[in-house]
Chains A and B, each alone.
Chain A
Amino acid sequence: MGASRLIERYHELKAYLIWSDQDVQHIVAAASVLEPHLSLLIDDFYAEIDRHPNASKVIAGGAAQIERLKGTLLRWLHELFGGIYDAAYIERRWRVGWRHVEIGLDPVYVNVALGRLRLGLCRCLQENWKGEPRRLDMTIQSLNKLLDLDLAIIQDAYRAENIAQLQRAERLATLGQVAGGVAHELRNPLNVVKTSVYYLLNARNPSSEKRAEHLRRIERQIESADNVITALANFAKMPLPKLSPVSVASVVHDVLEMNPPGTSIHVQTDLPDSLPQVLVDVDQIGIVFGNLVRNARDAMSQGGSLGLRGREVDGGVEVDVVDTGIGIPPEDLVRIMEPLYSTKARGLGLGLAIARAILERNQGSLRVISNVGRGSTFTVRLIASLNDGAGT
């Protein structure tokens, strides 16, 4: 966490609680009343922790560690009543929180432990107060504000560390997924290369044609391995879209030209001229529809029909890509747009992840419904171009 953000936060919270110089004076005055009783309060604090296994289990070092911790708590209390709440103070408070996450203490124990300390301090003030009762009330109010501020900083540290832990776990999971996806796509070409090399090195009577054939094969497979890396790299750093108004019908037409679904698939397009033009990066949106059309084709290896139907919606255009293929089981449906998730024997599993990422950058969206055995409908939503009503 950046120190400046933390200080800013602290000041904001101080303002929220109406913390003033008067509060500082109250606290400093309370310090002299409390000082003789602090070590008793600390003993009570650790005696209580000892009665709660879920709290005490994080103290692994026995009596010696408890003695050290008592010293730490005493310093913490001295600082609390020191009257100087500067950047160094905030930083130390934040570290207290962070340290408690690190040792694995459930945050509820931080709350209740601080609550117990608060009770002890207030009771101690009440029992030993020699001044005006009205001033006692104000002092207790100031003490509560100060403790609330401390608690807020500690909880902030908890949240920051928890987020960091989650991100570490997610990074590891992603790495595993990448390893699996890349392994498939790279080891197949490597397998061909390796066996061709073996043949070239070991065959007894290879003709010159055979040798040339294997060398060409090696070259081709290196190319295909390289394409895998390129696809991954492109996905990782997708360029910003260059938006321009285009007609959906012409995009779809080009996509079908480039990705013919095959003779066993009946294609039906319904993209009326009345549809408004959409504002998209035409190359990127071509990739989206290309991926959807190829997926639809793969889902209908036994043939079927592919529908591309557009309609105007509020501020945009929606295009359904409808297939009558094998459909997607619910457990896959929630994951198909994750990068490197694939249910096919070949392919990296980037098609839908790329489609979704592109659409997000083009202010569009992608959704899907599917019935196993009946087919799937992917709906692409795009924004309409404002400077023009009807299509070209």
Chain B
Amino acid sequence: MTAPPGSKILLVDDDIDICRNLTDILTDLGYQVDAAYDGPSALDLVRKSSYDVALLDLKMPGMDGLELYREIKKERAGTVALIVTAYASAATTKEALMAGAWRVLSKPVNLPDVLRLVDQVLNQPLVLVVDDDRSLCANLWDLLRDRGYRVGLAYNSSEAVAQLRDAHYKVVLIDMKIPDGNGGEVFLRIREADPKVKTILITGYPLEMDDVVARVLAEGADAVCYKPFDVPKLLGALQTLAGPGGDAAKESASRNPA
């Protein structure tokens, strides 16, 4: 098993030895690894760059792993969290999963399992949602995450551009009406930041936006979805442009154990 180029992993554990060990193992496999020994310094790292996977110890002094994940999710919703704990109650596990962590693993960790999960995460296509409506973003995050996509969130076009610079997104969902500029301009900025990324336009105003939508489609946007969403249609468009979500990746992984 070798890491795809540029895959980045964040380790957070107050036990320095375990951070060093995992760094050795993951670096040996070709991953880029950063380690932090507490929540606040982990957040500093997260603000500076984007990580595919965050491996977080649950029980740490000060900010615990779950609080930390909630903060990471605000900064980088596309980072997938694996929470590690020595003694997980059913309630803790449920709370972690409700908060959006992907898996809760027990210590001592089984390395082949961790590596397989990291591999699975990297096979989950990255999708960026650009929308100023935070509730809609949260809903799309839950919906798409459940279908095995990694979901980044940007609430305006500048955030979107910054996110595209940091991570390899396959598809961007763009709300055509966001505060800092109309959808057409946002589309162009995104195109400029990443010419290869696929785009799906979202609009709640089919009539008044028709002209803009038609123009942007002509300029190369790949698909358009109208609010309220026809969910199967949105997922169909995503699957065509980004490939199947991680569920399919999981199945193929279990058929071909590493």
Contacts and interface: CB of A to CB of B under 8 A. Distances in A.
Interface of A: 180, 183-184, 187-188, 190-196, 198-199, 202-206, 210, 214, 217, 220-221, 301, 344-346
B25 A217 contact: no
12 contacts: A187-B107, A190-B108, A192-B17, A193-B108, A194-B109, A196-B21, A199-B21, A199-B25, A202-B111, A344-B61, A346-B14, A346-B61
Interface on chain A toward B: helix, strand, loop, or mixed SS?
A: helix
A214 B17 CA distance: 9
A339 B94 CA distance: 28
Nearest to B21: A195
A203 B107 contact: no
A195 B22 contact: yes
A301 B38 CA distance: 14
A217 B21 contact: yes
Contacts of A206: 28
Given A187-B87, A191-B109, A345-B64, A203 B14 contact: no
Given A184-B59, A199-B21, A345-B14, A191 B107 contact: yes
Contact of B107 (A190, A196, A214): A190
A199 B87 contact: no
B93 to A, nearest CB: 15
B15 interface: yes
Interface in B80-119: 84, 86-87, 106-109, 111
Nearest to B89: A180
Interface size class of B (residues with CB under 8 A): 20 to 34
A249 to B, nearest CB: 32
A126 B18 CA distance: 86
A346 B17 CA distance: 15
In the A-B complex, the 10 residue pairs with the closest CB atoms: A195-B21, A187-B86, A191-B108, A194-B108, A187-B107, A183-B87, A191-B107, A190-B108, A345-B61, A198-B111
A195 B23 CA distance: 10
B25 A180 contact: no
Given A184-B87, A187-B87, A195-B22, 19 more contacts: A183-B86, A183-B87, A184-B59, A184-B86, A187-B106, A188-B18, A191-B107, A192-B15, A192-B21, A193-B108, A195-B108, A199-B24, A199-B25, A202-B28, A206-B28, A214-B24, A344-B61, A346-B59, A346-B61
Contacts of A301: 61-62
Interface in B43-60: 59-60
Nearest to B2: A204
Nearest to B109: A191
B109 A202 contact: no
Contacts of A214: 21, 24
Contacts of A202: 25, 28, 111
A193 B24 CA distance: 13
A345 B63 CA distance: 10
Nearest to B27: A203
Contact of B28 (A204, A345, A346): A204
A205 B24 CA distance: 11
Contact of A192 (B18, B59, B62, B106): B18
A203 B28 contact: yes
Contacts of B111: 194-195, 198, 202
Contacts of A220: 17
Contacts of B59: 184, 345-346
Contacts of B21: 192, 195-196, 199, 214, 217
Interface in B1-25: 14-15, 17-18, 20-22, 24-25
A169 B21 CA distance: 42
Contacts of B15: 188, 191-192
A221 B17 contact: yes
Contacts of B86: 183-184, 187-188, 191
A220 B18 CA distance: 12
A220 B15 CA distance: 13
Nearest to A224: B17
Contacts of A192: 15, 17-18, 21
Contact of A187 (B22, B24, B28, B108): B108
A345 B17 contact: no
Nearest to B29: A204
Of B64, B84, B87, the most chain A CB neighbours within 10 A belong to: B87
B91 to A, nearest CB: 13
A110 to B, nearest CB: 41
Contacts of A217: 17, 20-21
A202 B112 CA distance: 11
Nearest to A193: B108
A222 to B, nearest CB: 12
Contacts of A221: 17
A259 B21 CA distance: 30
A346 B61 CA distance: 8
A299 B181 CA distance: 50
A195 B59 CA distance: 19
A230 B130 CA distance: 56
A195 B61 contact: no
Contacts of B64: 345
A309 to B, nearest CB: 28
A153 B109 CA distance: 57
Contacts of B109: 191, 194-195
A203 B25 contact: yes
A6 B106 CA distance: 52
Contacts of B108: 187, 190-191, 193-195
Contacts of A196: 21
Given A188-B18, A191-B108, A345 B87 contact: no
Contacts of B87: 180, 183-184, 187
A202 B111 CA distance: 11
A193 B107 CA distance: 11
